Amino acid sequence: MIQGCENVRMDPLLRRAPRVAYRNGGVDEALREEGTLAVLGFGRGAATANDPRCFEVALECFDAPAPLEVWQVDAPVVHGAEGALRWSAGGGWLFVSIELDERECGGPRDTALRAYETLRRFVGQRDERHVLRVWNYLGAINQGDGDAERYKLFCDGRASGMGDFFAEGFPAATAIGHHADAPCLQVYLLACDQAGARVENPRQVSAWRYPRQYGRTPPSFARAMTLPAQDALAISGTAAVVGHASAHADDLQAQLQETFANLETLLASAGMAAGFDTHSPLKAYVRHPADVPQVRDFVRQHLPGVPVLLLHGDICRSELLVELDGWRYA
């Protein structure tokens, strides 16, 4: 619950946050339910459908069977496709996804540029033009040295493709490396016809203010985003970063503790009570499969009952072993 708001009646005109949950079951069943905005499957065996609301995320899940992630809104949903871009909308909310093959676009920089140019043009003409949350998944994210590292090239292309679309402030975001065979870039986002409120972490330098050592173009995201009705917090990819530096290189347990401290600080910065509950789904991206038992034990101890999806993904800094993101509902 948002602190200080227990007796305040929410403005009924503000958009209630989409409900995000993990569930086992069939894709078709989820798509038939009224208000289904998006259905995400994970890994090569993910069950998906030929529907613009479905998206197969190129990250393998350490849980079997991998659950679906389902987004639902309080309104009928329409959907469509424009080339590589797929979208769905309802109740003032918009889900958009795009997947591009780097072999057809010229590498990570040009692929990111094309993806974000396409997204900017589409979202910019919609009523739901306030982008609140973005997810980015690309292969071999840590490959390359210096400014030629693939993540840094992605950041260059993303900024060029965005132009001045986020001049008033960046959305919450995640960027993780996948291990799919195809060199593809996947981007999907949540937008609304009402603005949210950006949240930063006082323990960390804002990402867009990182010094030059992190690349020509600093990462472009807010640490979190409060959704319009202040009924949910969309949390960006959060790892063991203090100030702008990675902490506890190659020490998984210490990184988990630092990441948890950053999550709690974000909640406090957003004016939310401490802790997560059974309605607040999170993702844990784990670099090394051998580390999964330790991550799972940490989650059980520090986040009891919280739905946490464990995924095989590389963090954008090679010394970091784990990253968490997700949702916290008020």
Is 0.75 surpassed by the pTM of this model? Answer: yes
Q: What is the pLDDT of residue 179?
A: 97
264 as an active site residue: the answer is: no
Strand duo 130-139 + 19-23: pairing? unpaired
42-54 tens-digit pLDDT = 998 776 789 999 9
Structural domains of the chain in order of their starting residue, each with its CATH number: 19-329 (3.30.1330.40)
CB 264 within 8 A of CB 289: no
185-243 tens-digit pLDDT = 999 999 999 999 999 999 999 999 999 999 999 999 999 999 999 999 999 999 999 99
Residue of 56, 69, 149, 323 marked active site: 323
Average pLDDT of the chain is: 95
Q: What is the pLDDT of residue 122?
A: 98
In this predicted structure, the answer to whether residue 6 has a pLDDT above a threshold of 70 is no
In this predicted structure, the answer to whether residue 5 has a pLDDT above a threshold of 80 is no
Give the strand order in the sheet containing 36-42.
19-23, 68-72, 36-42, 54-57
